[in-house]
Structure 1
């Protein structure tokens, strides 16, 4: 199609029905670009790889109503189209809102390459991003998203990571919008055509990597030549780094065009003048001022790089190499690999591997995105939503204020790489954060034009936010240079004009130090008897940061001593006592970051490391397990157990690594598995992965997200730890109890009771008693039981008088923790269930109701044998163990955490016959154990289960004990119990561990949904209903079914936020939770304190959410996520 005809046909066209116009516009655009038109849609969706209206569905919802991508080309792009309504003069346009009817929305925006705040385009971009996540599993995230305002402009966004979560303006924020008339430019048309035909050819990393390698080869030749003249390697390195920055400064316009290149060209003719001229230029760059060498005024650079202006006399050939490097396009140099290549160029030992051993940028980007950018983008998305609502309400100043505050936070946070090397991770983090800053600047400019940007007052993401620790001084210096190159590259992509002077600043953000070991006198070890000594070895302090990321050194645990020396290794172990001696060196960084992450009031939000892929093996896994199951646990949010790392060559395969990203608390994560690799020998390798979601285990496999299971009302009030005495004087031997009147004084059995703790249950019972004055005042206790009172007065009160807790001190005759909450549940029972809180084996048994449980026992207020059986089953054991608190790793004891192990546990809805069967087996199990222990005083409960665990590998002596302990019978009863409980749940008896946990979580969520509607499956209804029941509990599902979305009961209603900025998030969350069409009136009733009062505000929020593509409008006044 003729270009002029196309432009005349579509320019200035009055907008109308979007659906009717966009397909015609795009079809004709493909003809202008010389690419194929979209294919006709096939009946089978799987065949529709390049079509209009490509159907996709949300993940995990195969029956959901399909959503449709306006134009999709597999592995190339997703395109969303909108159409503005043009004014007749072509100078202004009015956004088309007939379907959205957004209140108080700006009606007019200037036709410009710089977009005004355009709700339609933002809606389209949001939708396109959502569609990426809905693509079939075998479809990779496309590199491009395209947003089209039909007849007006095209906006381009690219993500080269392959994750589908890093789309940013392409090629940069100043040039990503293509106006229709720009299609007259052949370069623009070729760029668009490449998106249709070969999108990866536009990846700047491809060209940058080639250019960077060529430059490194040139510099290596100069370095080699200077070293041959016996110049100090450090001086050579600094000289070449100054040359490098000067070349870059020329190409970005910080120096006059071709000024340095011309200086080098002239020096080819007169090499004798090279050193003098270059020294003159560098002195001018250091202080700012005139340079005779280039006959121009030079900006003030400073920053320490030019503080030394040492220049070497070079020969003509060496100058020629510098000139060849200077003629490269330094705007395209890739700092992500430049540092590594420069280090190889400057190091004689590494020079032979130049260009053959480095990490391609996409690999680094994958970890940086998961650790830093995903978090910041989520923060930015929240702010953007608030700004959208403020703008929709006509409060532009509020919208600008929100965006400005986020920008300030972005420019205030810090990233630490505690093994930064030449700075590739820090650079990629800076680069991606600068791109995010570009999005923020776009929003700021759209909201307030240049006035919006004026609020920033020069603030921006700068190199001082990126902190590094590096033991190699040369690598540390290169890291500083790499950060400045990257920062200035991004400055010219995101902002207009030059940065303020001085151009460089000596931030000192790269510290030359050992990151895992310090000692008295660091960095020089002492020498005693010819051996290095590291006195008082300790872990050095790390700078505070919001994110930690990096690629610490790879030395296997068995090789640390050989590589680092015996004295250093011994000192390292002493400084890290929690580490096992066989752990790889990289795990010392992982362990340190984990401690920082989980420390109280820590600034750290996440850390992410590249480690050896042996992290899933036993010695590394122990480090991870210790932190995942610690008192203050962390979770792995992102993991890849096996991934290529360094570029492959014909002589060597790529190194394989693992990646992990951690965050404090209990969270669901995802594990990526590499399923296809191509181009590992290139600069742009293609790695295809599949994702699994759930709780990430220490071996980097996926488990079930148990954090989704919340406490059930059905179990309320039935479990608690036993009493906590706060005074050993309460405890009595049997003889002491008898002296105080046990068996003689009327009613004394109420206050002198048998007493058991964890050791009494798991081991040998001490047959002790305790004085329990619960329910009695001091006067009543003294009057009714004077002898017992006097015993407590003498043996407890002196100790209590010194207690700092006022209540414990004043109520000295009572236990410190009387456990009022469990006593009603035990009252009236002949027996109840207990388990030892901290135990190697999780065993439940009945105790006589006269016995008072200690704080180290968990008591359950039930005498039902079927409850004992279910608690003793494999289903509950797996649930307990997955939720337990670990005191150590592997063969250590685990803690029964009542709030996680019992409160959310969904008991089966068993029939009477099933309960009877489970109860009968449980009764026999409990009786057998008690009889065996009574007949064999040398055996203990722990001993019995030690034997049971070892079957069938028992020694001859253990076989004798097993026969006496009837351990094979115990094993048989447990097996029968597991089958009976599985039947009660309606499950096969041979389900795997993860399947059982998954079903329990699902059942918990079903029960929670029932309880929200008033249906509670009480575990002990006669006791619980009168105490914990609520008025709505008697209603049935049928009585609640009004043909409307089911609302939570009043006690579980989400609270309507007072803060207006928080209200849109709650409304959107409620719409998603309901999962069906909803009206503003229905949604307003979902909130506590809601109803008619908030309905107008809810209606406004729903409209705005739909305008920006956060939810969908499904009909007149109805909305859906």
Structure 2
């Protein structure tokens, strides 16, 4: 369940009659517990309560009680030995009149009337496995409002299906934006009294809802008509009051048609209006409400929240840190403070994938806070803000999100005015709204960004006819910021090449087809980086985007980053990989990086990363490369052979057989071979799944000199003929092998052993799975293989250093490591190893293998599960890392950032001194 679904369930429970015996189970069900779980609790099988309540291990201890006994019951729950034994995180007591609860981890408490406990549902989100940050927990209102508006939206579409059509959807979305404004305005004194809009609709519309749409339409007309014109326009007296001012700003223009309301829809409308809209947080609310209007996203309603701390990871190093530093430097110097205020007033923040505007809203609010401090220090606390909303520009593909972005900024401006100048001055200047529409609805990869956010000091003011009819040439709006700075930011859609729809591929084709030959492997987000680099060639700017970390890994790096560097851009700052989570329960989030690029970099770059304890650390450096490591710009290219004495690594053997040469144990038994025939014609084969999970699979492995005998066995002969037929009907490579149907494409094995490295393995493992199989074993093309390789090679591959290198230069398949011999192994920078180094590493590899053997028959998957890795195996790996890292720098590395920095330093030296790589003899085919 996501947060909105939980809120709906909790609200429904709060509205029901209190049932003392049923409440604990209904409460747990509201937070996503399954029927089977609740059944076990009811039966007592898993209920550990010693107070006659319900105790769910590792979760919550709930007790209902007689009226007036809630506080004493909560104390009893806290003192209960069972609560401690079960490691409960929450305790809750209620008598149906009041409810009290405590978070035993943080010590936070809730005490409220029973009917109001749904207002505090965010307090309990951890019960559903949702790891909440402070902003989410304190934004229960935003989630409740989103939930209510979604119910209203869906109900209205039931009775007005035409409003859900592509042609009418903009009208529906515009109607919802008007409602949001009215709910906010009636609770913040913008209208003439708290709740006036909702109260008027309730009073003037019939209980059977037959005229609800007419009442709302009348109020919309009032807010689109100046007071002096209302009488002449024939507006009714009940609507033509001081309660509803002239709003303008095109919010209520363009027609006043309203969808018809059923009784249920009217009830939902009044329920939404009864919420306290003074609590709205536009930087959170907007990012959730955008999903209300998107069919494909409504199933994930409430999962679009982007935490303020994550947004500030982009905005702080982009511009806010410098502005705050200038404020600190200015102190009380009036002239310096004035110059800073003038500078801030000319800064443009541009989000070319703005969604509902949360990056723009946070940037605006933070800059207003700095400006307010400037005014305070200059003795001008009541001074009107000089920061225009039109300097916060965006591009958004969806019209409703674009409108919500503009509305969120309008609300943020009003809230800032109230905060810094007081309610009276804020109200005096809020209405009428301005007519400029500074959020462009369009495709950011197809629009010219210079027309949306042109060089400073150009253009003249015009008015947009309608919020949805945004002039694409935004040079028509004067920014009044000659000499100002432009900062580009946002969280564009990621979409790997396999996940892109044809329209998205067409966007990239239009952008890249004439400049890059191999662009099809790029993530969709790469388009925003190239557009930002192009933009920087025309006007001074710096851009920072949240991105999949894959654009800084593997094969995408040599495609994308030379193009960005060629435009004159460098990486100004970056956050290396971290989780960007959402509000869904048990969500894994997505691994992202934040990358800031500019053509005019500061002398000192900033690289943020997580240390081995999960704490953020900052490195200041002269350069950051495309792999987000400290160091000069370098692109790691494939190498066909290693440049030193390490072993050769190749792909395993590709069957190219249609499955006819591969055998399960049952299929092997079905051949009815003698033991001698099985030894001659069958081998054990290892791919990734076989090596990691211990699966058993075999293959036919027939020498040319044994072919005649093998063909004398009918089941084998049939399989060989099936391979021949498959290859003759296949592609060019398959056809070339059709006359050799008894063998794989390649037939390489080790005499003594084969060192296997799976080509794909889970990112959750701390080390790459690798290991030895006996001589004669077959390595499939799902693994890389080294034949008869010395043990010290395994020590290198099994190290933390190597998995860090592979993660950077090989990239990933989805979120799993994708290994490559030419990128991962042949390029891996290794210092010159002495005989003693090799001997030490050999012992380390032996210790790792012995630690694994001690836990036979545990599989590699079992042994390297991060939650259950055995102590002896962990010690063996830690010892291997220590020995290897001391070879590199004489001590252990502090974190992965430092590891990568050293590896790229060595790689740069290796490439500079390598010259022409010496050719090495290919491995011979060995039976």
**What range is the shorter-chain TM-score in?**
0.3 to 0.5
Task: Work out which of the two has the higher radius of gyration on C-alpha atoms and give 1 or 2.
Answer: 1
TM (normalized to structure 1)? Answer: 0.39
